[in-house]
Amino acid sequence: MTVINNPGEANILDARKKALLIARIAEEKQAEDVAVLNIRKLSSFTDYLVICTVESAPQLKAVADEIDDVMRRAGERPLGVEGALSGRWALIDCNDVVAHVFTGPVREYYDIDGLWAEAVRLDVAAELKPKPVEKLKPVVKEVAKSMAKRKPVAKAAKKAVKAAVKKVGEKVAKAIAKRKPAVKKAVKKIEKKVAKAVAKRKPAVKAAKKAVQKAVKKAVKKVRKAVAKKR
């Protein structure tokens, strides 16, 4: 169903927008070969023609009724609707835009497209193509819904992770607390061994020191004697 942003507000659409809105309505109702012709410079009775083809009388009435209804809600009440019940050709006069809804053979017979061959033809497919932002709107909505649904799950998961981390932390802390006495004992043992080793080596170090001192003194004496003889 075509959405109108400002229902009941008179003259809110210019002729071009109105023609494209009617074309969109026709396409939404599965009409085929939708054409929008700008005849402003060629005609004095209207600015745009919207022409489309339907397959059956019920479809023709559905398209004509929908155009009439949407235009009324848009504050652009048609001046007249003719032939909607004929099942062959419906004409909806929206003042500066006139819409023609044909069955295939009738459109071919009257050849309105050919009569207005000099008119500027709008590229309906390009004009009605959704803009990138419009295309993304449904996707964004779906993502937002999905995220809203997942929020409680995400919160629960967060809590579960926090609880698990806390539990692990507590276990690690307990394990460390248990091992502290054993570590202290091991450190003390090592300290004792080191102290013993140092104590054992002290006499040897002292003896070595004395030997070095004696050797240095002896060498100094020899050097002095040699210097004295040269004099």
| DSSP letters for 38-75 | E-TTT-SS-SEEEEEEESSHHHHHHHHHHHHHHHHHTT
DSSP 118-178: TSEEP-HHHHHSPPHHHHHHHHHHHHHHHHHHHHHHHHHHHHHHHHHHHHHHHHHHHHHHH
| pLDDT-based confidence at residue 166 (cuts at 50, 70, 90) | confident
The CA distance from 165 to 157, in Å, is 12
**Is the model more confident about 107 or about 229?**
107
Q: What is the pLDDT of residue 204?
A: 74
Mean pLDDT of 116-141: 77
Question: Six-digit token pair at 3?
Answer: 């959405």
Question: Six-digit token pair at 224?
Answer: 């002095």
The CA distance from 47 to 40, in Å, is 4
Q: 167-194: per-residue pLDDT in tens?
A: 877 877 777 677 777 777 777 777 787 7
| pLDDT-based confidence at residue 118 (cuts at 50, 70, 90) | very high
Q: Choose from 121-125, 178-182, 215-219 the range with maximum mean pLDDT.
A: 121-125
pTM of the model as a whole: 0.54
Q: What is the pLDDT of residue 11?
A: 47
Give the CATH superfamily of 15-129. Beta Polymerase, domain 2 (3.30.460.10)
Show me where the domains of the chain are located.
15-129
H/E stretch holding 218 reads helix 132-230
